[in-house]
Amino acid sequence: MNILDLQIDRVSQEENEKSKQLVSELEELSKSTAKRGAVKKYTNIVDGTDVEISSWRFNEWDYSSKKVKLPIYARGLFTVGDRIVCRGYDKFFNVDELGSVSKKALQETTTGPYTLTVKANGCIVFISGLENGTLVVCSKHSTGYRDELTHNHALAAQAALKRQLEKKGINPKELATTLHQLGMTAVAEYCDDSFEEHIIEYTQEKAGLYLHGLNYNTCDFKTCSMTVVTSFAQAFGFKTIDYFELPTFKAAMEFLEKASETGLHKGEEIEGFVVRCQKDNSDFFFKYKFEEPYLLYRELREVTKQYLAKGVDKVSFKNHKLICMDYLKFVIPLFDTEPALKEDYLKGKGIVKMRKLYMEHKQQSVSEIIKEEQSMEKLEEELKCAGYGQDTCKYVLVTVATIGCGKTTTSMTLANLFPDLIGVVQSDDIPSPIKNKQVAKCLEVLVEKPIVILDRNNHKFIERQQTFEYFADLNKLIPASKLKFICLNFLGTMSKDDPKLWEITRARVLERGDNHQSIKVERDGSYKAEMIMKGFLGRFQPVEKDKFPDSRFDHIIDLVVEKNSSLENAKLITRTLAEIASDVNVQYPNEEQFLEAYQKALEFKPVVTKNFKTKKEKPQYFGIQVNDIDKLGQIHEIGFFKQLQEANRVKKEFHITLIHVGSTKKNPPMKAIYQKYCELIKDTEHISDQIELPYKADAKLVRICWNSRVMCIEAEVKRIYGKEGERLDSLGIGNRYPHITVGTISEKVQAVESNKLLADLHDFGDENINTQDLNIELNQLPLFVHY
């Protein structure tokens, strides 16, 4: 082909000088020990030559950092001597992934036309040539033969390219010379299921190298139009990418949002689009990835791998539980009858095949299957709420209260009134640690009676969440649709800061003296009782019926805290049960029966004496309390944070863990740090599960980090000090990367995943981890110990 016909600019001498300066700067950065703005250099040999080629790799988080200025933003960069020989696109992001690519920002800062190119689903490849006519083929960060690679993408793509050119009757030297003379990198996607399966199917005639870019080998990002790219692809036998132009940002977004409803383009499944436009008179890219069906396809792949590796009992479901369960029901017999399928799948083969077999079995399109699942979930919830098809339900009454609200008196009054219908399981009767023991006891009661009262303060969201989780784990007899949860909200609409609440509850506790399993006023004095009460009151988190976990209650009964309110609350609960538990047939007692049951409850003497945790019990962890990170403006712009909010998965309390007892096992350095912190509390009376300590800390919130499962804020602990300002820096920190966990995508994703996310980010620069810089200083944060 005649390269002049493409009307492509040549790389100027000035640009070559910039490249020299760039390589010099990269060499200096590669020697830096700084965490930010550093670059990793890897030098190898161009395949078939003795020419040294260097790959330069930045940390993923630095691409989006506002605090770091990189010398170049190419994702994929290779040099020979002082010249760029392969240059990838400048790193680009998904719509709404960062504030700079929010719909509002894109509309205000970019100009058209907007070229929408279909996003291929394979591994990216960079192709260029040396002066002697040698082809250079690179994967994202590698080229040539490498001993440690068992799956060499660069060499596999190079072999595919040579087959492609041979079929076209073109000498590889011609392509290499053309790219060298133009000073360009051909950017392609190697899509071939026989080499590596992804999400989209690429078999037989669809497999190959899809050319989607021609980049100038310059420091500044400059790329050719898709018209030129397509002409070049056709000349050298590359497969072409479908593309089209839209004049305005509004038109582009309308098209993308419409296409995302089906995940199809021209009747075929695609991953999404890359949008090319202009920003500040320079080439600028952003992407629009479809949520479905790729969310489903990835989950089908992951649950299959979990099943094959760990067994069906260890499979965890995320977004498409019903579909995945049905899918496993279909594929498990196939794996059992054909063991070779299992071996292939674990090697990354047959992923698409198994999915297609399932779809053929269902005889539905993927969009129909997803819509069917949504309808089933809705129907299941409606039937659950209506109690459809059930003879009788079982009711769990969960108390939410602070000390002195009258929950036990109210509970005992109800049990006295309805001994055949209602049982009470008190937390104070359960040996420590309670964990799931109280729920197990409640399930035993429900075998004999239709109603049980789980008598515990449940004053924090986490305790209510754990209650639901324990019932889900332990319940083997009662169908989920027959198990109803009713919240007895003892504070009702009263604020925990209302002086009236303290006045009433304090008087009650002092009046009952030692007539309580754990708070002994006469034995220990009023001061200790008040300290315990203030601890619970300070940590109390009011019921929020529209937020998780309180949104899981089938009913919430708002009660009152007043003088003799236990009797009135028992009456209110009885009336409500008569309405909502009609299958139980609760008969409303007369006034005399109420008074008799209430008086008997007041005379109740605890048989078990249970002490609050003593200093001999090990603290679980020490931490720094951090308040209201929700007020950080940047975090609200992040799509994943919005997702957590919608799912009510943002934590209600935030802290930086300093040392956890779990990290001390078989780890002497961690044990030494833990013991130093324990020394701080040797004179502190242990009166509740969490105690604020007379020490402070200054910290810095470095950046927000997230993937599709967890979001956290990486932090730096600047100093720890006592009341007089004395430094306690020698204590040390048990976490390799201190952080605050903001939230996880589901109950099945534990907060401990924050540790792995940050480790992957620091050690490997994982491209699936997103970051956004904060650089916020926080001073005089309180330290606490949690038992």
How does pLDDT run across 121-162, given as a tens digit for each residue?
Answer: 788 999 999 999 999 999 888 887 876 555 688 888 899 999
With beta carbons less than 8 A apart as the criterion, state whether 54 and 137 touch: no
- The yes-or-no verdict on residue 385 having pLDDT over 70 is no
Q: What local confidence, expressed as pLDDT, does residue 64 receive?
A: 83
Taking the C-alpha atoms of residue 368 and residue 374, their distance in angstroms, rounded to an integer, is 10
In Å, how far are 319, 668, 719, 735 from 752, measured between CA atoms? 21, 21, 24, 11
- The yes-or-no verdict on residue 330 having pLDDT over 80 is yes
Q: What is the mean pLDDT of residues 513-518?
A: 51
| Angle formed at CA 493 by CA 492 and CA 498, multiple of 5 degrees | 105
Residue 104's identity, in one-letter code, is K
687's tokens: 């009166």
Q: What local confidence, expressed as pLDDT, does residue 567 receive?
A: 92
- The yes-or-no verdict on residue 670 having pLDDT over 70 is yes
Q: Nearest Cα to 397, choosing from 537, 556, 547, 586?
A: 556
**Residue 531 — φ and ψ, nearest 5°?**
-60, -45
Residue 15: helix, strand or coil by DSSP?
A: helix
Query: Which one of 18, 31, 35, 119 is the catalytic residue?
Result: 119
Q: What local confidence, expressed as pLDDT, does residue 386 receive?
A: 44
Q: Nearest Cα to 110, choosing from 246, 295, 312?
A: 246
Q: What is the mean pLDDT of residues 192-218?
A: 83
- The yes-or-no verdict on residue 687 having pLDDT over 90 is no
Q: What's the whole-model pTM score?
A: 0.51
Q: What is the mean pLDDT of residues 240-254?
A: 94
First to last CA, the chain: 75
Q: How many C-beta neighbours within 10 Å does residue 113 have?
A: 15
Lowest average pLDDT, out of 22-36, 219-233, 401-415, 677-691, goes to 677-691
Taking the C-alpha atoms of residue 451 and residue 100, their distance in angstroms, rounded to an integer, is 54
Q: How many C-beta neighbours within 10 Å does residue 189 have?
A: 22
Q: Nearest Cα to 485, choosing from 420, 399, 392?
A: 399
In Å, how far are 134, 318, 473, 541, 568 from 745, measured between CA atoms? 49, 8, 19, 21, 41
- The yes-or-no verdict on residue 526 having pLDDT over 70 is no
The answer to whether the Cα torsion of 628, 634, 640, 645 is positive or negative is positive
Q: What is the mean pLDDT of residues 565-591?
A: 91
Lowest average pLDDT, out of 375-389, 485-499, 635-649, goes to 375-389
Q: What is the mean pLDDT of residues 502-525?
A: 65
With beta carbons less than 8 A apart as the criterion, state whether 492 and 558 touch: yes
Taking the C-alpha atoms of residue 455 and residue 230, their distance in angstroms, rounded to an integer, is 71
The 3-state secondary structure of 168-182 reads HCCCHHHHHHHHHHH
- The yes-or-no verdict on residue 455 having pLDDT over 60 is yes
Taking the C-alpha atoms of residue 64 and residue 71, their distance in angstroms, rounded to an integer, is 14
pLDDT tens sequence across 47-58: 888 899 999 988
Domains of the chain, start order? 12-289 (3.30.470.30), 294-386 (no CATH), 394-602 (3.40.50.300), 621-786 (no CATH)
**Residue 93 — φ and ψ, nearest 5°?**
-125, 165
DSSP 100-116: GGSHHHHHHHEEEEEEE
Q: What is the mean pLDDT of residues 66-87?
A: 91
Q: What local confidence, expressed as pLDDT, does residue 275 receive?
A: 97
Q: What local confidence, expressed as pLDDT, does residue 269 receive?
A: 81
pLDDT tens sequence across 588-618: 999 999 999 999 988 876 654 445 444 346 7
Question: Which residue(s) pair with 716 in the sheet?
Answer: 700
More confident residue, 77 or 302: 77
Above pLDDT 90, what percent of the chain?
35
Q: What local confidence, expressed as pLDDT, does residue 388 receive?
A: 42
Q: Could you give the strand order of the β-sheet that contains 770-786, starting from the edge strand earlier in sequence?
A: 654-660, 621-626, 770-786, 690-706, 710-721, 739-744
In Å, how far are 570, 626, 630, 641, 655 from 701, measured between CA atoms? 48, 10, 13, 17, 12
- The yes-or-no verdict on residue 540 having pLDDT over 60 is yes
The torsion of the CA quartet 343, 349, 350, 352, rounded to 10 degrees, works out to 150
Average pLDDT, the chain: 84
With beta carbons less than 8 A apart as the criterion, state whether 620 and 691 touch: no
- The yes-or-no verdict on residue 253 having pLDDT over 90 is yes
Taking the C-alpha atoms of residue 700 and residue 707, their distance in angstroms, rounded to an integer, is 22
Catalytic annotation on 287? no
Q: What is the mean pLDDT of residues 67-88?
A: 92
Q: What local confidence, expressed as pLDDT, does residue 135 receive?
A: 94
More confident residue, 687 or 614: 687
